[in-house]
Amino acid sequence: MVVKIGTSSLIDAVTGKIKLRTIDRLAFTLAALNHQGYEVVLVSSGAIGVGMNQRHLTKRPSAIAEQQALAAVGQCELMRLYSQRFNDYDAQIGQLLLTHDVFDYPLSRAHVLDTIDALLANQVIPVINENDSVAVDELDHRTTFGDNDQLSALVANQIGAELLIVLSDIDGLYDKDPHQYPDADRLTTVHHLSSDILQSAAGSGSRLGTGGMVTKLKAAAMMMKANHQMVLASGADPRIISHILAGEAVGTWFIKKEHTEKEHMAQ
């Protein structure tokens, strides 16, 4: 499986402080799954946010070079924290920083996939992030993924992962913006990304449409197209991953209906 955790789950939006408890619980949960024989890949955002914390900045700079410098600083600290916490639970990690070019070219793609396979074969958890310090859209080069939601779906499909779990600052997909409508209902299962769902997520003025939910739905579409599954759930406590794997009614499952019917027939 691939687990993606966003910046909002790792960095406190008000104080800018790193959520150390969240990192610890994430490491504990993934290490436990690793010990149980699961092949787990972590896609982690947060480099720039951690860099801002390290540099004691309260406002994200607008200059690309300054953002990339923060990513360079933050990635080092983020990996230090991950390494420390995973070691506490007797699990090893390995870092991969990727750009879109890696998947665009067959040879580099094959090398990256071979590396991931080798790490998993040795019970090492790959920790993947976009290489923010070098990734820019320039001339004929397509280096950026745009966001780690789509990166996680791309990685999941490339390695044949059966499940993508996206941990976010919202606990699932709702039929309307829950911040504006108290009667909004969380969708427990989505079999088809209809135009109504996509339009509501992209609606102007909606918090769901400020880039966050749209990219998650694009990731879900990628997984469903490949006949795999995705779950969108709250990243406030990463131990929710265990509840997801236990089949509890948390988050929103994105799964093709025919895929569900095949599983039911097999049972």
Domains along the chain with CATH numbers: 2-266 (3.40.1160.10)
Q: What are 27's two structure tokens?
A: 């490491």
Of the candidates 85, 94, 90, 87, the residue with the CA atom closest to the CA atom of residue 40: 94
pLDDT over threshold 70, residue 260:
no
pLDDT over threshold 80, residue 196:
no
Confidence of residue 211 (pLDDT cuts 50, 70, 90): very low
Q: pLDDT tens-digit profile of 48-82?
A: 999 999 999 989 888 888 989 999 999 999 999 99
pLDDT over threshold 80, residue 185:
yes
Of the candidates 172, 170, 233, 177, the residue with the CA atom closest to the CA atom of residue 201: 177
pLDDT over threshold 50, residue 151:
yes
Q: Determine if residue 143 is labeled as part of a ligand binding site.
A: no
Q: What percent of the chain has pLDDT over 70?
A: 87
Q: Determine if residue 4 is labeled as part of a ligand binding site.
A: yes
Q: Determine if residue 216 is labeled as part of a ligand binding site.
A: yes
Mean pLDDT (the chain) is 87
Q: Determine if residue 132 is labeled as part of a ligand binding site.
A: yes
Q: Determine if residue 53 is labeled as part of a ligand binding site.
A: no
Q: Determine if residue 225 is labeled as part of a ligand binding site.
A: no
pLDDT over threshold 90, residue 24:
yes
Q: Determine if residue 58 is labeled as part of a ligand binding site.
A: no
